[in-house]
């Protein structure tokens, strides 16, 4: 028969609780584990950008740039496409947690339950960085020859991390306001389109006039121009400020939105 460890019950009885650092570590560990146990999604998130890059380099590349140098142009775009795609699964992970009852368990524990979202965000960052490294590795194999110094590499990495965090938090917020994992999944699609309407694959100047306005004013273009400039030495001008500004602004909105949505959502059921 079952016996539970003896304890004194009474109003003075209180349990210990985990520190914020431990809570975050536990939720990050959980999310990383969830990622590893969904190998199909993980492989898709890594394989898709690599396939896209190979396709753009070998299939379209010849038509876009007959000199065979297209791989130098397209790598930054592929990295961002990959980050946008990879972070969209955060919306699904978050919605799943918010709809299956486990959030109630976390919310009745004496911990900061919003850390469950932080866990998903950090896991997304880890997944996306892994995919980014693989993309860069494959790019080097197929002839990408960056000119960046160590500092430029680090700066590019910083911009990529900021971009991944921005989009992951945005998807976390989307996950918090959508009702079902399936619905959350479909939002990823919309944001997947943004890189195509930027300077990711072709220079903005080759687009029709009205589209140039859209493409040069949307947040992805400065991020791509910054990364491209850092890695391959093309002129950056003020694009770096625009890139950081856009990301910081969207990140701030996503954070506030997530926080409000978490509080509202969690208390509703």
Partner 1 sequence: MSNLAIEAKNVRKRFGAHDVLQGVDLAVPEGSIYALLGPNGAGKTTLIHILSTLVEPDEGMVRICGHELAAASMVKRSISLTGQFAAVDEVLTARENLTMAGRLCGLTRAEARARAEELLARFDLESAADKRVRTYSGGMRRRLDLAISLVTPRPVLFLDEPTTGLDTMSRRTLWDLIRSLKRQGVTVFLTTQYLEEADQLADTIAVLDGGRIVATGTASELKTRLGDEVLELRDGRGSLIRTLSTDGSLQDIRQQLNELAASVPPDTRIAIRKPSLDDVFVALTAQEKERRSS
Residues 6+ positions from 161 with CB-CB distance below 8 Å: 125, 129
| CB-nearer residue toward partner 1: 45 or 215 | 45
Q: Is 39 in the site for partner 1 (CB under 8 A)?
A: no
Part in contact with partner 1 (CB under 8 A); list of ranges 23-31, 56-64, 149-157, 251-259: 23-31
Q: Is 205 in the site for partner 1 (CB under 8 A)?
A: no
| Residue 121: other Cβ atoms inside 10 A | 25
Burial class (CB in 10 A: 0-12, 13-18, 19+), 71: buried
Q: Is 267 in the site for partner 1 (CB under 8 A)?
A: yes
Please, what is the end-to-end C-alpha distance for the chain in angstroms?
36
| CB-nearer residue toward partner 1: 79 or 116 | 116
70-99 vs 181-193: helix crossing angle, rounded to 10: 160
| CB-nearer residue toward partner 1: 26 or 162 | 26
Number of residues that bind partner 1 (CB under 8 A): 41
Q: Is 15 in the site for partner 1 (CB under 8 A)?
A: yes
Q: Is 126 in the site for partner 1 (CB under 8 A)?
A: no
Per-residue b/e over 189-199, b at no fewer than 16 CB within 10 Å? eebeebbebbb
Q: Is 1 in the site for partner 1 (CB under 8 A)?
A: yes
Instruction: Output helix, strand, coil percentages for the chain, rounded to the nearest 5.
Output: 75, 0, 25
| CB-nearer residue toward partner 1: 16 or 209 | 16
Q: Is 107 in the site for partner 1 (CB under 8 A)?
A: yes
Q: Choose, by CB under 8 A, the member of 43, 51, 58, 110 that binds partner 1.
A: 110
Kindly state the DSSP code that residue 204 receives in the 8-state scheme: G
| Sign of the Cα pseudo-torsion (106, 111, 114, 118, in order) | negative
Using CA atoms, how far apart are residues 198 and 220, in angstroms rounded to an integer?
A: 6
| CB-nearer residue toward partner 1: 111 or 117 | 111
- Min dist CB 26 to partner 1, Å, is 5
| Residue 168: other Cβ atoms inside 10 A | 30
Which residues within the stretch 46-105 sit at the binding site for partner 1 (CB under 8 A)? 100-102, 104-105
Q: Is 111 in the site for partner 1 (CB under 8 A)?
A: yes
Q: Is 210 in the site for partner 1 (CB under 8 A)?
A: no
Residues of this chain that bind partner 1 (CB under 8 A): 1-11, 13-18, 22-23, 26, 29-30, 33-34, 37-38, 100-102, 104-111, 266-269
């Amino acid at each position: 028969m079952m016996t539970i460890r003896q304890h004194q019950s009474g109003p003075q009885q209180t349990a210990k609780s985990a520190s914020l650092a431990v809570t975050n570590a536990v939720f990050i560990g959980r999310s990383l584990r969830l990622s590893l146990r969904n190998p199909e999604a993980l492989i898709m998130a890594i394989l898709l950008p690599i396939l896209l890059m190979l396709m753009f380099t070998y299939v379209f590349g010849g038509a876009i740039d007959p000199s065979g140098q297209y791989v130098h142009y397209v790598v930054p775009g592929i990295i961002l496409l990959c980050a946008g795609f990879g972070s969209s699964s955060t919306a699904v992970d978050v919605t799943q947690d918010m709809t299956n009852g486990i959030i109630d368990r976390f919310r009745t524990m004496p911990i900061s339950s919003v850390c469950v979202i932080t866990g998903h965000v950090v896991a997304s960052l880890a997944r996306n960085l892994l995919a980014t490294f693989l993309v860069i590795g494959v790019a080097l194999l197929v002839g990408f020859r960056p000119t960046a110094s160590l500092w430029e590499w680090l700066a590019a990495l910083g911009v990529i991390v900021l971009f991944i965090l921005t989009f992951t938090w945005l998807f976390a917020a989307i996950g918090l306001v959508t009702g079902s994992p399936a619905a959350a999944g479909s939002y990823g699609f919309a944001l997947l389109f943004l890189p195509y309407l930027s300077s990711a694959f072709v220079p903005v100047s080759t687009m029709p006039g009205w589209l140039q306005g859209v493409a040069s004013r949307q947040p992805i273009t400065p991020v791509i121009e910054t990364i491209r400039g850092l890695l391959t030495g093309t002129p950056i001008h003020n694009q770096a400020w625009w890139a950081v500004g856009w990301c910081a602004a969207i990140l701030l909105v996503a954070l506030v939105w997530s926080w409000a949505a978490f509080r509202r959502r969690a208390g509703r059921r």
